[in-house]
A and B are shown apart, each in its own frame.
Chain A
Amino acid sequence: MRRFALIAVPYLWLLALFLVPFVIVLKISLSDSALAIPPYLPTLDLKAGWSGITEFFSQLDFENFVWLTEDDLYWKAYLSSLKIALVSTVLTLAVGFPIAYGMARAPQHWRATLLLLVILPFWTSFLIRVYSWMGILSQEGYLNQFLMGIGLINEPLIILNTNVAVYIGIVYTYLPFMILPIYSALEKLDESLLEAAEDLGCSRMSAFWLVTVPLSKQGIIAGSFLVFIPTLGEFVIPSLLGGSKTLMIGKILWEEFFSNRDWPVASAVAVILLLILVIPIILFQRNEQKQREAEG
């Protein structure tokens, strides 16, 4: 009985507030938009009994999904989200790896402090971290003031409200997610392997590529997914730092819902976003599984 209650309480909670809402999204994505409250049709009429239920199902269709393929705004938004997520994952890796490498090489007594310094931004507000770049990147912002002050440029650079600003924002906010798994892989690396490689005639550079990188592969993969997956549905960064030309699917969904009030289309956008996310999520899980097995 007690065991039953222990299982039932969190189970029912998640069923009611995670699974059921998702089924509702699925259902509304198959409904039609309407000028009503709620703004979609059909609504399930249970009082009509069985005929009400069959009537309800017969009115569901894939019209919204067809609409998504016809209007090229959505295609472009999905593709551009994928591109932005991919490019920023590579950039974050390029910035994060040297930092993780430096941390793993740092003297033992520094490491706890360095680790704390990487985690600290994670606890501060995401919104504020994104916002802090608005003052830096704007036309009369600190970066342009600095560059013009030292005479490197004469005209202010236009960075804010472009995709460049979005990339900077993503790299900045997701950097800890990249650094931490790579650091934990590099920290476990047995240094005698590198010495052995060098004794056997490897240069330092080739020892790095042949030993260090393959042995930290799992950390690199984990970090990349931890950046790629949330970036794909990102809303705050493209809205604050991006411009009107920055197409990202999280932003489209938000606008479809709040500005156009087209709930069925917003739901269809959400369903497709989830379908796209399933692949990287499964790959990520598999990588984690492998790592756990390797550690025994």
Chain B
Amino acid sequence: MRRFSWFNATSLTLGFAFLYLPMVILVIYSFNKSKLVTVWAGFSTKWYGELLNNDAFLDAAWVTIKVAVLSSTFATVLGTMAALVLIRSGRFFGRTLFSGMIYAPLVMPEVITGLSLLLLFIGIGLDRGVITIVLAHTTFAMCYVSVVVSSRLVSFDQSLEEAALDLGCSPFQAFRLVTLPIIAPAVISGWLLAFTLSLDDLVIASFTAGPSATTLPMKIWSSVRLGVSPEINALSTLMIGIVAIGVISASLISKRSAIQQQRDERAAERSDD
């Protein structure tokens, strides 16, 4: 075993300081009393109060959550179907095109995705608003979901499903009772990924939203273009807090279930002996 040297410790410390210091500063200064963001004038929570009274922000937050819940749910269904097609369906006409269309959106610049979808919506005369944002987010998020789910499906032992079919399950029952519980962790993390991508997206939403709907990132964007503002600091702190709690608790839960699984497997091995 090689020693963990001073060099390693220093690079880790500096690296993580670089990753976290900007966000820590943002959080600290969100409690700053002064309107001048960079001058500390004492502790205050007044910007949080102003934020909660700002209807424009609250409306945007509501639109964003609606869009994120709808699009991540559609994306999970479509993405899981696409993963099943990619891993299970073998050859069919246009398979190469299909897998190309799954992987291309992952590397497509957002400005191009946004532009092309907007031109489509205008071309077919669809009124822009919440619906068009949901359609756009579903499309790019389903590709991420299908990548996550297919990595789980690859390692899935298909004979389990065949056994269920032999024992009289219909194909749909076999999927629901055997396959789905096994790939569930991947489906859930796909949903979470799609949800975060949707919450986070500025560029595609700006192209596809139209004048009637504004999402939170669009609202943040129009106000940070004018410079740093204490209200945005407060909003950012809330968002960072929610994400941190979510990610940490998710990792604790998955750690616990991994330990539980190890225990179960060990118990099963013992009873085999």
- Chain B residues with CB under 8 Å of A135's CB are 25-26, 29, 37-38, 228, 233
Q: Which of B12, B110, B225 contacts A106 (CB 8 A)?
A: B12
Q: Is B123 an interface residue (CB 8 A)?
A: yes
Please state if B220 and A235 are interface contacts (CB–CB under 8 Å): no
| Interface-centre pick from A14, A136, A175 (highest chain B CB count, 10 A) | A14
Please give the number of chain A residues whose Cβ is less than 8 angstroms from any Cβ of chain B in the complex: 81
Q: Is A10 an interface residue (CB 8 A)?
A: yes
Please state if B8 and A105 are interface contacts (CB–CB under 8 Å): yes
A50-58, A64-72, A139-147, A216-224 - interface stretch: A139-147
Docked CA distance A141–B11 (Å): 26
| Interface-centre pick from A22, A28, A140 (highest chain B CB count, 10 A) | A22
Q: Is A154 an interface residue (CB 8 A)?
A: no
Task: Find residues 46-84 in chain B having any chain A CB closer than 8 Å to their own CB.
Answer: 78-79, 81-82, 84
Q: How many A-B residue pairs have CB under 8 A?
A: 222
Q: Is B148 an interface residue (CB 8 A)?
A: no
Q: Is B41 an interface residue (CB 8 A)?
A: no
Q: Is A273 an interface residue (CB 8 A)?
A: yes
Q: Is A194 an interface residue (CB 8 A)?
A: yes
What are 10 pairs between A and B in contact, CB < 8 Å? A7-B92, A10-B78, A10-B142, A99-B11, A117-B20, A124-B244, A129-B22, A131-B224, A273-B109, A281-B107
Chain B residues near A (Cβ < 8 Å): 1-2, 4-5, 7-9, 11-12, 15-16, 18-20, 22-23, 25-26, 29, 37-38, 78-79, 81-82, 84-85, 89, 92, 94, 98, 101-102, 104-105, 107-112, 115-117, 119-120, 122-123, 135-136, 138-139, 142, 146, 171-172, 196, 199-200, 202-203, 207, 217, 220-221, 224-225, 227-228, 232-233, 236, 239-240, 243-244, 246-248, 251, 255
Chain A residues near B (Cβ < 8 Å): 2-3, 6-7, 9-11, 13-15, 17-22, 24-25, 28, 38, 95, 98-99, 101-103, 105-107, 112, 114, 116-121, 123-129, 131-136, 138, 140-142, 145, 172, 175, 191, 194, 229-230, 232-236, 239-240, 250, 253-254, 257, 263, 266-267, 270, 273-274, 277, 281, 284
